[in-house]
Structure formats: structure tokens, C-alpha cells
Amino acid sequence: MLWIKHSLIFRWPLAVFWYFAVQMTDISSLTAEEKHVSRTPEGVRLVDGPERCSGKLQLRSTGSWASVCSVSFSSEAALVACRDLGCGFADTFHGRGLGAQSQIWGPLFQCEGTEKHLMDCPSTMLNATETDPSECRNTFLHCVERPRQPFAKLYTFQGPVHYKNRELLKGHRFAISCSYASPYNVSSIRLRSGDGSDPSSEQIKAPNQNEAIFLFPAAENYHQGTYQCDYNFDFSQEIFSEPEIMHLTVKDLEDVRLVNMQSRCAGALEVQHQEEWRAVSFLHSWSLREAAVVCTQLGCGTPVSSSRVQLPGAARPAWRFYSDCDGSEGALMDCGSVRKWLSSSGSTQVVCSDILLPPNRPVISTRGYYDDQERDVLLFKGRSFSLNCSVEPQYPGGSFSLMLTGSNPTSYTLPAVNHSAFFRFAAAEPAHQGNYSCVYHNYVFHQNFSAEGQSLSLILQVDYDVMLDDGVLREDDSEACAGRLLMLQEEWRLLSTGSRLWDLKHAALVCRQLGCGSAASTKQIDLLHNMLVSRFFSDCDGSESALMDCGSVQLWFSSTAIEVVCTGHQGAAGRT
């Protein structure tokens, strides 16, 4: 018994040594391809590949690994094999390399593509088929996480656009084609613009012969940007392919112009084609429909007329225009084409409705206020003001209408003098409040034309910027017609007698502005101490409607103020 005990003590470490030796021998005897493979519990793997999901397909059969014969290996079987390996979608598969004479071949599979594991597919052993093993090649399979990206092409009316120059001309219609090459059924093709986060920018179509066409209207600036095209399979609709990304730029269209007149919206038509400008001959297909497209493209309104202009001299090079326009297009070359032509029939002249330049925004000026930048102007009641309409020199003569829109729509018209007109108003009243715009009229090319400019908003301050304070609080909010004179410059302040020019003439302006009759008297009054008041500076002649039409004020310290007494009593309702 003692011998057995010592024997076990001696042999136990030896047994452990031999166990690990055998294990290490099994591991070290593995080939490189067996060490870097994709394995699943079902006994499917890929070897000899650059990555886990790419390589030679093998099956575990009766304790050894068998290669898969490529002769009858189908796209459905490839799809199931990638799914079995947890490698996504089958991208490519092919046969490569002759098998050794002693090579073991796995069964031939007849998969439908819906199976979860390759061994779930119906199969037949190779020796039970008519397939000659010498014809077999090893099946190499490449799987991807998402299907590969489709192909995308850009088309305009002039044909396909080169890949490196995906540039659209503004006003030209365009289309994007998305296509794919796959043996599997595609459920839908999707086109997204921008970063794809906005669902409203998404278009989805069913494929037709492995392609979907997405049509767009005339290109505008908002069409510029990135477009992404992808697709999904009917058996995995929640996963879309890698996207094909296309970036489009929109270029302002400058291949049409009207020349030889004083306006960009009237003249002889010229078209640039193949980097050459030529006049367009006036032949059979030209009409007001084509002229409408020209006016639209140039941003010149609608066509007024289109006619032939006979050119002096012999025939000269021109473009002959071939049309399919209906007048609604945004660019002439989007609905027609041109060819070189030797024209003796004259060129095409087009006159559009927006032939006149738009006049400038009205400029307001008063004796004390002037600003040519403001769109909203605050004006005190009773102040005189004028509005100036003007236009850049283009044609002689013409006239201006000053249009007032608001509660009391009105228009005033004056002839243009040196391309401008002044509209003068003696005193601002509530009826003058509203939006003013200038309209320029002229008769050119045997037609009457008009052009309207941007508007200016005049807001009337209903109360006055002067008042007389007699110290009495009135419930009816009427104005006093006698008392200390205050002026509004951000806040109400007394007017100082520091101005040596103040007299009864200036007091009369205050009475007139307040509706208090004429001036009876004006005098200096003493204050208890120096305080911040308004000092008045004058350029008045006594005929003005309001004191600040002819004066200006600055803040200063004084211990005196001005009192004014008018002949009237309790003038019109005043401050709000």
C-alpha cells in the first residue's frame, strides 16, 4: 500500500505534464489559416482571408473541415452563409484554385435565402450528384455589414453631367438616377438631401430594372448641397446600404442677354453656347412663349413684345433656335437647343415688362431731420416734411407717383426733373401716416412702362413736441395755451431764455403749432436754481408750421425759462 501511495505521488505530476504537453502540441500543430478563422457553433468558417468575414468557406464534416464546391454555390447560399457567420450581407463570392485529389468536399446546398444557418438548407452529397469533383473550385466568400453603395448619376436637359463637375445651371431641370447591381431583390431606393436628418427631404421609390429616377424642377439655390442615395433588400428592410454621396452646386445662369439698348430687359437676344456668344435668328419657332422664358430667366418680368430686327449688311453668323418651350420654363436652353446658322433674316428682339430700373426708396427730409437710411420714420404732428423720389439715369423724362398705402390711400404725381421729384407737405397730420413708395413712369419703345421701388413707413407721433404748462391738471387732456414752454427731446424739458434770438415771432410758431391762435406775449421767468434745460438755436422766418421745423436744441444749465401766452384757449387734445 505504501508503494502504491508513493507511486501515485510520483506519477501525478507526470500525468499533469503529459496533459498540457498534448494540449500544446494540438495548438502548435494548427496551421496559420486555422488560427485566424471565423467560427460558429454550427461548424462554418472562413479561412485564408484578410479579415474575419472574408475568405475560403469551409464546413465541419465528420470531424474534419471540408471545402465548399463552387460549381453549384448560389447567391442564396452565400446570403445564408454570411448570416450564419454573423457577418451581415453577402457581397461577392467566386471559385478559385483547384482542390487536391484527396480533398474532402462538403455537400451541395440548395438554399432559398431565408434560412438562418447554412446547414438548414436542403443539401446533397457531392458523390450523389453528377458533378465531377475535378471541376470543383474552393468557394471564396466576402461578407459586409451593410450592402455596398449604389451608383448615382446626374442628368440635365443637355445630357449626363460628368462626375467631377456636378454643377447645375440655375433654371435648368435635372434628374438623379440611383442604380445598383445585386442578385437580391431590392425593396426600395431612397434619395435624401442634406444630412438626411429631415424626413421631408427624403424621397423613396420602388426600383424599375435596378434603377430609380428622381426628377426635379428648375434648379434654384436651395437645390445646392449634398444628396445621398441608398437602398434596402426586401428580406432586411430595416437596414439600408452604404450611401452614395453626391454634392451639387448651382451656378447663376448667364447664357442669355439682351443688348444694344439702355436696359438689360430689352434688346437684341444673344445666347452663349459652347463658350461663344451669337445673336439668335428670327425664324419659324420663335414666339412670345420663348420670349417669356427669356424675360423669366433674366428676372425682367413678362414679355411685352418680340420682333425681328433687320441687321444691316450681309448675312452673319447666328444661332438657329429649335424650341419645345411652353413659356413656363426658367431657362431658354432648358427647353430648346441651338445650331450654328448664317442669318440673313435678322435677329430676335425682346422687350420685357421690367424694362425700367426700380426707383429708390423715398427719402424723407424736414427742417431738423434728414435720414436716407431709415425704413421706419417717426414724425411729430404738425412738422413739415418732404419726400424725394429718384431713379438712376436711364431714359430722359418720365414722372413719379408717390403712393401712400394705409388707412387713407392716396397718390401724388409730379414730373421727373433730373430723374427725381420732391413732394412737400406743410404739416404732418394723421392722414399722412402709412407706407410710401415711389413709382416711376416712362414711355419708351412705343409702350408705357412703370416700376415701383421699396417702401418707407412713416409713423406719426400724435402729440406735439412742444407744450405750454400752466400748472393746471385737466381731466379732458386738452392743451393749455399759456404757460412755461417745454420741448420734448427724449424727455420734456423747459426752454431756456439763453437764446438771444427768442422773440414773439418764435412764440407765434408755438401757438400756431398747438392750435392756440396767435402769440399775445412771451417773456423770461426765473427758476429757483440752475437746472438742465434746452437751449434753442433758430433759423426761423416765422412762416413755418412748427417750432422744430426751423430750430434745434442742445442741453445746458440755466436758471431762467420762457413763458408764452397765446390768444386762444385750451387747444386741441394733445399728449397721449
- Asked if the structure places residue 13 within a domain, the reply is no
- The CATH number for 54's domain is 3.10.250.10
User: Is the pLDDT confidence value at 292 over 50?
Assistant: yes
Residue range 256-289, pLDDT digits in tens: 999 988 889 999 999 998 889 999 988 778 899 9
The residue out of 108, 124, 144 marking a domain boundary is: 144
The residue out of 352, 382, 405 marking a domain boundary is: 352
What is the rounded distance in angstroms from the CA atom of residue 356 to the CA atom of residue 393?
10
User: Is the pLDDT confidence value at 34 over 60?
Assistant: no
User: Is the pLDDT confidence value at 100 over 90?
Assistant: no
Are residue 101 and residue 48 in the same domain, yes or no?
yes
User: Is the pLDDT confidence value at 398 over 80?
Assistant: yes
For residue 63, the model assigns a pLDDT of 77
Are residue 333 and residue 377 in the same domain, yes or no?
no
Count of domains forming the chain = 5
Are residue 328 and residue 242 in the same domain, yes or no?
no
Owning domain of residue 202: 151-251
Are residue 45 and residue 133 in the same domain, yes or no?
yes
Are residue 38 and residue 139 in the same domain, yes or no?
yes
Are residue 319 and residue 415 in the same domain, yes or no?
no
Are residue 52 and residue 125 in the same domain, yes or no?
yes
- Asked if the structure places residue 29 within a domain, the reply is no
- Asked if the structure places residue 561 within a domain, the reply is yes
Nearest in space to 269 (alpha carbons), one of 335, 351, 158: 351
- Asked if the structure places residue 12 within a domain, the reply is no
For residue 29, the model assigns a pLDDT of 40
For residue 39, the model assigns a pLDDT of 43
| pLDDT mean over 189-193 | 95
| pLDDT mean over 5-22 | 36
Type of residue found at 554:
Q
User: Which residue's entry shows cell 431764455?
Assistant: 497
Q: What are phi and psi of 490, to 5 degrees?
A: 75, -40
What is the rounded distance in angstroms from the CA atom of residue 289 to the CA atom of residue 272?
20
What residues contact 30, with CB distance under 8 A and at least 6 apart? none
CA dihedral 444, 449, 453, 459 (to 10 degrees): 120
What is the rounded distance in angstroms from the CA atom of residue 474 to the CA atom of residue 479?
8
For residue 172, the model assigns a pLDDT of 87
Q: Check the CA dihedral 93-95-99-105 and report its sign.
A: positive
C-alpha cell at 396: 430722359
- Asked if the structure places residue 28 within a domain, the reply is no
For residue 426, the model assigns a pLDDT of 86
Please state the separation of Cα 537 from the chain's center in Å.
53
Are residue 551 and residue 537 in the same domain, yes or no?
yes
For residue 550, the model assigns a pLDDT of 85
User: Is the pLDDT confidence value at 392 over 90?
Assistant: yes
Residue range 144-166, pLDDT digits in tens: 999 999 999 999 877 888 766 68
- Asked if the structure places residue 305 within a domain, the reply is yes
User: Is the pLDDT confidence value at 293 over 70?
Assistant: yes
Range among 11-15, 281-285, 449-453 rated most confident: 449-453
Query: What is 86-154 written as a DSSP string?
Result: T--EEEEEEEEEEPPTT--B-PEE---S--SSGGGS-EE-GGGSS--GGG-EEEEEEEESSPPP-EEEE
For residue 11, the model assigns a pLDDT of 39
Residue range 486-515, pLDDT digits in tens: 998 888 999 987 767 899 999 999 998 888
Q: How far is CA 233 from CA 79, 84, 163, 408, 535, in A?
A: 12, 18, 27, 66, 85
For residue 6, the model assigns a pLDDT of 37
The residue out of 144, 178, 205 marking a domain boundary is: 144
Are residue 54 and residue 137 in the same domain, yes or no?
yes
- The CATH number for 175's domain is 2.60.40.10
For residue 1, the model assigns a pLDDT of 36
Lowest pLDDT segment from 215-224, 470-479, 486-495, 555-564 = 470-479
Work out the pLDDT band at 370, boundaries 50, 70, 90. Answer: very low
- Asked if the structure places residue 470 within a domain, the reply is yes
- Asked if the structure places residue 3 within a domain, the reply is no
Work out the pLDDT band at 101, boundaries 50, 70, 90. Answer: low
Are residue 261 and residue 247 in the same domain, yes or no?
no
Lowest pLDDT segment from 37-46, 182-191, 343-352 = 37-46
For residue 25, the model assigns a pLDDT of 37
**Under the phi-then-psi rule, with left for phi > 0, alpha for psi from -120 to 50, and beta for the rest, what region is 210?**
left
Are residue 49 and residue 72 in the same domain, yes or no?
yes
Are residue 139 and residue 38 in the same domain, yes or no?
yes
Work out the pLDDT band at 475, boundaries 50, 70, 90. Answer: low
